[in-house]
Amino acid sequence: MATAKVLFVALISLIALQHAFVNATFASRMKCTWGYDNCQIGDDSVKLILNKWSGAAIQGYGEFLYGYIDMRIKLVPDNSAAVVTTYYTSSEWSSKETDTHDEIDFEFLGNVTSDGSDFYYTLHTNIFVNGVGNREEQFRMSWYNPTSDYHNYTIFWNPYMVVWSVDGNAIRVFRNYEDQGIPFPKYKPQRVYSSIWNADDWACQGGAVKTNWTYMPFVANYLNYIENVCPYTGPNSVVLCNDPSNWYFNAQYKQLTGDQLKTMNDIRSKYLVYNYCTDTKRFNGNFPPECSKPQY
């Protein structure tokens, strides 16, 4: 299987590889934050376990502004109904009442089976800016089996765009239209999180299918954490990380290439099952402003 570095070439090109990769591992960059008995961190591997009593979560030690993060994940196999595995970046929350956090999400929503015979996992993506999300896109994960082997999931974030990718193939882009009054994450440092938990009130077929606890423990496995980011070490980092001399400001990272666009559009045409920008009933025709802008 191709390494994460090779797969990522398909997204941002060889020039990025000229910049030093941080010598990151799960052990050096992550810690368990809840469900300690269900959270196992090895040198460069993680197991997150869900049972009736607890889920589990990890988070990164350091914060960053811009760059990319990548990890290989093998999701919960068999009957994973209403089991949610998450992988995301987020800035700090002040409080629910004054929430202004930024967040970039992958969420994997389990289903009754994972072998393609009945129901598939749902890959849920979202982005929050200044505490406002409601920008969901969902994919039917039927172009590969996310439970039989490890697959790379990458978040790439620079001042021009946010890109979500699977095995080096972009599946979604959110562009920066801040100059047109559309918020974009630029100034709040984020850190990496991942978790496994039960959400049988909504996660599987709208809450109609509940978690079958006879299949526990539910285990998500992780390998090979990679990051190439601008570390946040204090307020001056906002200036330093927004300096155009940083590698991710290079003109070639302003948009995807023609081949990347072709692959992404093929995935989206076949597997995209929900796009907030086409949900007329939800927004009553009054769509968020970015929906009228080209994203890629």
The residues annotated as belonging to the active site are: 103, 107
> DSSP labels for the chain?
---HHHHHHHHH-GGGGGSPPP---HHHHEEEEE-GGGEEE-SSEEEEEE-SS--EEEEESSEEEEEEEEEEEE---S--TTEEEEEEEE-----STT----EEEEEEE--S-SSSSS---EEEEEEEBTTB----EEEE--SS-TTTS-EEEEEEE-SSEEEEEETTEEEEEEE--GGGT-----SS-BEEEEEEEE-TTTTTGGGTS---GGGPPEEEEEEEEEEEEEEE-STHHHHHHT-TTSGGGSGGGSS--HHHHHHHHHHHHHHEEEEGGG-HHHHTT---GGGGS---
